[in-house]
Structure 1
Amino acid sequence: MHTISQVNDTSFRTRVLSQNGRPVVVLFTKPGCTACVSARSAVSKFAAAYAGKADVYTADIAMNPQLRATYPRDGVPLVVVFHEGQEVWRRVGGSVKADMISMWVDDLL
């Protein structure tokens, strides 16, 4: 499994919103979320396949109140694809698959 770096309230703007060029995928999770386990597996698989093509992060909304207030309006797990600082795709729930993320990111490469 591929290791995914974390973003927080402080680093989110620099690593995600200010990123130009490569797409950025963020998995929003929280402790105790059982569906987050399968989403993390899919995002990890995607991250391994797209190393150097897309940046991939995870964010724990329990530890980051600013991110919690802004992004997971419909719950977690939440996978969001950003490009040029803008949200371009989102999927809520544990049913997200690596090939699903690939399909949206491929359109941005």
Structure 2
Amino acid sequence: MPRKSFSELINSPGMPVLVDFYADWCGPCKTMAPILQQVAAQHEGKLRIIKIDVDKNPAVAQQFRVQSIPTLILFHKGQPVWRQAGVVPAAQLNQSVGAYL
């Protein structure tokens, strides 16, 4: 199966896509990982979460002006509709993505 482009990933039909821009060496990114797993489990089948390593994909990070990590960007119908830098509590993240589910 060929790898999908970033554009194909964020244009997921019928489902919003939450993108986590992170790096392996980033402490706050490691704090965010279990929160994202919790949110993914709560919204299984209604929300896709993908992770983009900014060290391996600098062009994508630059395209969306990611200046600090973690940065979360929610895409709805291929368009960014919400973004947040830093660690986001699960309750706040659920509330923010809930409007698009």
TM-score normalised to the size of structure 2? 0.87
Q: Secondary structure at 1:89's aligned position in 2?
A: strand
Aligned counterpart, 2:13: 20
Aligned length, in residue pairs: 99
Aligned counterpart, 1:93: 86
Q: Could you tell me whether the CA contact under 8 Å between 1:28 and 1:72 is conserved in 2?
A: no
Kindly provide the amino acid, as one letter, of the partner of residue 66 in structure 2.
R
Structure 2: give runs of 5+ residues left out of the alignment: none
Q: 1:26-75 deviations in whole A, cap 9, x for unaligned?
A: 11101210010111121111011111011111110100122121225331
Tell me how large the CA RMSD over aligned residues is: 1.6
Does residue 1:81 correspond to 2:74, yes or no?
yes
Give me the whole-angstrom Cα distance separating, in 2, the residues matched to 1:107 and 1:68.
25
Counterparts in 2 of 1:60 and 1:36: CA distance versus 1, 3 Å: same
Does residue 1:106 correspond to 2:73, yes or no?
no
Give me the whole-angstrom Cα distance separating, in 2, the residues matched to 1:77 and 1:14.
22
Q: Report the Cα offset of residue 21 of structure 1.
A: 1.8
Aligned counterpart, 1:4: none
Give me the whole-angstrom Cα distance separating, in 1, the residues matched to 2:65 and 2:86.
11
Give me the whole-angstrom Cα distance separating, in 2, the residues matched to 1:73 and 1:64.
11
Q: Secondary structure at 2:45's aligned position in 1?
A: coil
TM-score normalised to the size of structure 1? 0.81
